[in-house]
């Protein structure tokens, strides 16, 4: 991998500052000037990077997706296909394979809820803004496919006869839980990893019939 350039380092600094502002002040607090101040950059730096508000929002969505991908760590989930590591790939349609999938999902979701709730607040701010900006809605939805498509593949490998529909049910369950714990009435009651495993097991085995 090529070393990080000064330009990409500045881009990360700007978009991380934008995420900080979203979590702290909401959408109204996200301005080019405020990002410059939060990032400790000369006035005009954010405008040079993202001239319009739309471009700043898109860059912030892109950075959010990068940070969420690191938090969720899909490498901890069993691969839905031939294994790149020594030994056979787990059979996700068998109970043991589903247990591995359940454990990976619970670990990733617990890490997100317990360590990075501010990213969830940012996601909700951007998702609501996308309902008012069709051009942002298209960009937001396209960025989200990188998280949905692997789940569809996992559900298919786990034996789902309707992987698209079951992936939607899985996403909806996770989204509901995340909203309740990050911004809803359960904000002080984040489930334990063991409780999340139980929830995923009930959901997946109910859908898959095991």
Q: Which CATH architecture has domain 1-51?
A: Orthogonal Bundle (1.10)
Along the chain (210 residues), what's the average pLDDT of each consecutive run of 10 residues? 59 98 96 98 96 97 94 68 54 84 92 93 96 94 88 91 94 94 86 96 87
Every domain of the chain with CATH number 1.10.10 lies at: 1-51
Every domain of the chain with CATH number 1.10.357 lies at: 60-81+88-208
Model pTM?
0.85
CATH tag, 60-81+88-208: 1.10.357
Distance CA 184, CA 121 (A): 11
pLDDT, tens digit, for every residue of 13-27?
999 999 999 999 999
């Amino acid at each position: 991998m090529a070393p990080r350039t000064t330009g990409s380092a500045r881009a990360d600094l700007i978009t991380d500052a934008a995420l900080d502002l979203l979590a702290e002040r909401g959408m109204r607090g996200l301005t080019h000037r405020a990002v410059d101040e939060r990032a400790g950059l000369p006035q005009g730096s954010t405008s040079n990077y993202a001239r319009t508000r739309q471009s700043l929002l898109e860059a912030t969505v892109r950075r959010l997706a990068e940070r969420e991908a690191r938090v969720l760590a899909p490498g901890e989930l069993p691969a839905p296909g031939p294994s790149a590591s020594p030994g056979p790939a787990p059979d996700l349609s068998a109970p043991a394979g589903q247990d591995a999938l359940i454990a990976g999902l619970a670990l990733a979701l617990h890490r997100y809820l317990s360590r990075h709730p501010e990213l969830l607040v940012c996601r909700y701010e951007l998702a609501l803004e996308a309902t008012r900006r069709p051009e942002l809605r298209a960009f937001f939805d396209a960025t989200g496919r990188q998280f949905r498509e692997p789940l569809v593949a996992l559900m298919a490998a786990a034996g789902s006869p309707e992987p698209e529909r079951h992936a939607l049910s899985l996403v909806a369950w996770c989204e509901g839980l995340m909203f309740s714990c990050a911004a809803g009435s359960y904000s002080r009651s984040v489930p334990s990893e063991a409780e999340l495993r139980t929830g995923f097991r009930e959901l997946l085995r109910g859908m898959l019939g095991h």
